[in-house]
Structure 1
Amino acid sequence: MQKQIVEIAGEAVGTLMPHARGLRFMAVKFHVWPLDGEVYADPATAHRAVTAHIAATREAMADRVH
């Protein structure tokens, strides 16, 4: 398996690298650094995790503003 780019809303936020237990996420954008090094079973699972993390971060930021 080759490395794969993880894009959210057209923005590359990381890459998935082959790992003995699946695919290791390597963050390339600051807002997803907390996920750097996480291992996922497949690209779809990684994409869902990154999307959920970004949504949770945006929600937390919105709560701070109000």
Structure 2
Amino acid sequence: MEKQVIEFGGLPVGIAVSDEGELRFIAVKFHVIDLDGRRFPSVGELKLAIRNHLKSAQPIAA
């Protein structure tokens, strides 16, 4: 199984593993957990999805 660490903003947020010709994202940070398990055609598409997700995310009340 080939895997790659995915960083966003200089911090690791998950890993991508090969899955049926695509990359399955496994989140390791809570703020990207909604993307966990989704498949992407490339690392670029995955990082774009992370960026879009974080831009649209609602702040969590403390």
User: TM-score, normalised on structure 2?
Assistant: 0.86
In our comparison, the structure showing a higher alpha carbon Rg is 1
Q: Which runs of 4+ in 1 moved over 2 A?
A: none
Instruction: Determine which structure has the larger helix proportion and give its number.
Output: 1
Structure 2 unaligned segments of length 5 or more: list them. none
Structure 1 unaligned segments of length 5 or more: list them. none
Matched residue, 1:31: 31
State percent identity of aligned pairs.
35
Instruction: Give the length in aligned residue pairs.
Output: 60
| Residues in 1 aligned to 2:21 and 2:54: alpha-carbon distance in whole angstroms | 24
Matched residue, 1:54: 54
User: TM-score, normalised on structure 1?
Assistant: 0.81
Name the Cα RMSD after superposition.
1.7
Structure 2 residue identity aligned to 1:13: V
